[in-house]
Structure 1
Amino acid sequence: MKRHQFPAIALTLAVPLLGVLWIGGGSRSADPESGPLLPLLTLLMVSEFGLILCLAGVVLGIQHGRHQGWTGRFILITAGCALAAVAFLLQLIRWWPF
């Protein structure tokens, strides 16, 4: 795998991980006190893994863009990784027990 391919791979992996958080974070029934479908530790681990993965994609995407020049495709992939990183961060904050 080449380093310039990592942001695309990170974005491709981020989509199903966000789906897992979206579906697994829903409640079991209509009662909001019933809790999520997946255990809390699983939701936290998926959120943290996705955040680290997407942040690495953003950093490598910016490095590639600065050295090789920006293309429209690479701008979209890097921006998608940045948006996914924000989504994972918000999910991490949501599921962190206070």
Structure 2
Amino acid sequence: MRTFLCSIDESVWDSVENGYVKPTTAKSEWDKAALALANANSKEINSIFCGVSTDEFHRISHVKTAKEAWTILETTYEGTKKVKDTKFQMLTTRFEELR
């Protein structure tokens, strides 16, 4: 998914890594940089929505930023940091047993 999003535009993946905060001013007052960030977030969230199943879409359809959607999906499928660390520890322990 990361490769796909980067292929759209490198700034698209940046909105997942760095997040996006919508400016508080009216759109007519946004400069080119603010508009580019908004467009990147829109492209990314649209790509994520199109790339997930109906059930996953219902889980993330309420979010406004790509980072929020990504975090929900990441937590759902990979778990929290604690879960990931536990899985890694189990894998390394099992690997040591097999050696």
Same fold (TM over 0.5): no
Calculate the TM-score normalised by the size of structure 2: 0.32
Q: TM-score, normalised by structure 1?
A: 0.32
Task: Determine which structure has greater relative contact order: mean sequence separation of CA pairs < 8 Å that are 6+ residues apart, divided by chain length.
Answer: 1
Bigger Rg over Cα: 2
